Structure 1
Amino acid sequence: MLRYFAMLMTPFLFCLPAEARAQAPPPVSQCQAIAARLPDVKFASLLPVAYQPPEVTITFIGHSTYLIETPDGVRIATDYAGFLLPGGPPDVATMNKAHESHFTLTPDPGIGTILHGWGALAGEPADHDLVIGDVYIRNVTTDIRTWGGFEEDGNSIFIFEVAGLCIGHVGHLHHELSDTHIAEIGRLDVVMVPVDGGLTLGAESMRNVIERLYSAIVLPMHRTGPRIRSFAEMLGDGFETVYSDSRSLTISLNSLSSPPKVILLSGVW
């Protein structure tokens, strides 16, 4: 089973104090740097036994919105459409425009940073590459279906690099990923994927995407109930399905294991 070396090589930029980070050079994506390129690479936990890596909490809010809370307290809402969030407005809100359930034209003025998954000007893709607190945020664009065919670069896969983890939210993904997409994304330890039977991708195509990314943790979203449960069962061998009674998942580098897990948080299943 393919897996990644992800532990020992992780840069420690985001473990530095805020003052040191301010003087550090611009970040280089560790998710791309450590992406698996060779066959038959096994996941290896090489961290010292005494090391306790920082933790990230991911909470299912609804539809395609997850709340990511970093060790330094940065709060990120994905595909934010105006949901009321525990603790008030997020520091960062990402949005995609395939449907109104993935963005809002009247965001809470308390949101610190809003990142659109589409370009500000027609024909220009969104290009995000920034550090907020202890998290490095970037995006990889994909196309979305329209009434006239496909709109190039209309959706963004947002990638959050924090606490040594590579966390990805694929937005409203409408096609399978090319080799170029996979290279730009790099390694994803956690991936949030829409499951809806075809509004985004059909089940088989979404399975192909998940198998190519081969993340340690898969968090389904977009639809809830029987369709989600059927999709998790369809993944079958190679993936362990976990039904959680909590809406939240707290993870760290030590949480990653093989085989990968499809975790259905409360509210999803």
Structure 2
Amino acid sequence: MRALLWFLCLTLFAGALHAQERRASHCIALAESTDGLEYLQKASWQDPVSRDSVHIRYIAHASFLLRTEGGLNVVTDFTGFTGSAPLIPDAVTMNHAHETHWTAHPDPAIPHVLQGWGPAGTGAQHHLDLGEMLIRNVPTDIRNMFGGVEPLGNSIFVFEAAGLCIGHLGHLHHVPTPEQFAALGRLDVVMAAVDGGITLPLDQMLEVLGRLRSSVIIPMHWFTDYSLERFLARVGPEFSVVNEGNSTLTVSLRSLPSRPTIHVLRPRYLEAGE
């Protein structure tokens, strides 16, 4: 009984740490962009996050760490390994197209493990309110190993925090339907697979990015510099490109560029002592 009471106290305390008020986002409404591009590079992923901002760290392949002002940590396409730093995320999301996007054995200490698929192609539905961040998903289909289609086997996850809508397209295998685009709403920041074939051909991915009208696009799932450069060579003049060799950026509503910007991040695992 004493152990149960201790567990409940710890749970309530942890919840209070992240129970800060979330600034309302505008995913479903088009918002005005503000002029200027002011990304703040941090020396450590553990440094305090600026007010009304979200810190993004590219970890590997399709995994990103999203960190809020209150210290909430969320990892996308979690594989079970984020580096040598001792991190237990508050929540992780996963997709199961390949083992580089999920793990069958997440640490049981992680409070929220969100699978982007359901049993037998039934899809998943998530609407997780963590106080500072709301996590939701829009299911999409994926190809299976036999060349067929697994209905609703992938999820596009949307993270609403600091007034921003941040989307992770996951292992997207088709252009979303009008209904799926409507469910996503306006994404201020989007992580997009740009491998050019294992997920979507580049023409289709550029079509998706054009429809989303995101202010900041972060390429992922690009394997080599060659595939990354091939993507960058295909984007039109309507996109700006920032490629400074960094692994992190901090973004806020006030720093969103007025022109769609591809912000290249370099993957880097979280290191102990960083």
TM-score (norm 2): 0.79
Inter-partner Cα distance in structure 2 for 1:168 and 1:244: 22
Aligned to 1:9: none
**CA distance 1:35–1:151, change in 2 (3 Å):** farther
Inter-partner Cα distance in structure 1 for 2:180 and 2:233: 27
Q: Does 1:152 align with 2:151?
A: yes
Aligned to 1:243: 243
Q: Kindly state the Cα deviation for residue 43 of structure 1 after the two structures are TM-superposed.
A: 3.2
SS in 2 for 1:233: helix
Q: Does 1:116 align with 2:101?
A: no
Inter-partner Cα distance in structure 2 for 1:235 and 1:122: 37
Residue 95 of structure 2 contacts residue 170 of structure 2 at CA under 8 Å; is this kept in 1? yes
Q: Does 1:43 align with 2:33?
A: yes
Aligned to 2:261: 261
Aligned to 2:47: none
Inter-partner Cα distance in structure 1 for 2:122 and 2:200: 24
Q: Does 1:138 align with 2:136?
A: yes
Q: Kindly state the Cα deviation for residue 122 of structure 1 after the two structures are TM-superposed.
A: 2.1
Q: Kindly state the Cα deviation for residue 19 of structure 1 after the two structures are TM-superposed.
A: 6.6
Letter in 1 for 2:265: L
Identity of aligned pairs, percent? 44
Aligned to 1:75: 73
SS in 2 for 1:206: helix
Residue 244 of structure 1 contacts residue 266 of structure 1 at CA under 8 Å; is this kept in 2? no
Residue 24 of structure 2 contacts residue 162 of structure 2 at CA under 8 Å; is this kept in 1? no
Structure 1 consecutive aligned stretches of length 4 or more whose deviation exceeds 4 Å: 17-21
Residue 114 of structure 2 contacts residue 126 of structure 2 at CA under 8 Å; is this kept in 1? yes
Residue 128 of structure 1 contacts residue 139 of structure 1 at CA under 8 Å; is this kept in 2? yes
Inter-partner Cα distance in structure 1 for 2:256 and 2:202: 25
1:30 aligned to 26, 32, 47, which one?
26
Q: Kindly state the Cα deviation for residue 87 of structure 1 after the two structures are TM-superposed.
A: 4.8
Residue ranges of structure 2 left out of the alignment (5+ in a row): 1-16, 36-49, 269-274
Aligned-residue Cα RMSD (Å) equals 2.3
Structure with greater contact order relative to length (CA < 8 Å, sep ≥ 6):
2
Superposed, which structure 2 residues align to 1:118-267 within 5 Å? 118-119=117-118, 121-146=119-144, 147-223=146-222, 224-267=224-267
Per-residue CA distance 1:89-133 (angstroms, 9 max, x = gap): 2111100000011000111223221000001x3242200011013
Per-residue CA distance 1:28-52 (angstroms, 9 max, x = gap): 87312x147xxxxx6357xxxxxx9
**CA distance 1:65–1:242, change in 2 (3 Å):** same
Q: Kindly state the Cα deviation for residue 195 of structure 1 after the two structures are TM-superposed.
A: 1.3
Aligned to 1:3: none
Inter-partner Cα distance in structure 1 for 2:20 and 2:213: 34
SS in 1 for 2:120: coil
SS in 2 for 1:31: coil
Number of residues of Structure 1 aligned to a counterpart in Structure 2: 235
Inter-partner Cα distance in structure 2 for 1:64 and 1:190: 15
Q: Does 1:55 align with 2:53?
A: yes
Q: Kindly state the Cα deviation for residue 206 of structure 1 after the two structures are TM-superposed.
A: 0.6
**CA distance 1:56–1:259, change in 2 (3 Å):** same
**CA distance 1:59–1:44, change in 2 (3 Å):** closer
Residue ranges of structure 1 left out of the alignment (5+ in a row): 1-16, 37-41, 46-51
Q: Kindly state the Cα deviation for residue 215 of structure 1 after the two structures are TM-superposed.
A: 0.4
Inter-partner Cα distance in structure 1 for 2:195 and 2:115: 23
Residue 65 of structure 1 contacts residue 77 of structure 1 at CA under 8 Å; is this kept in 2? yes
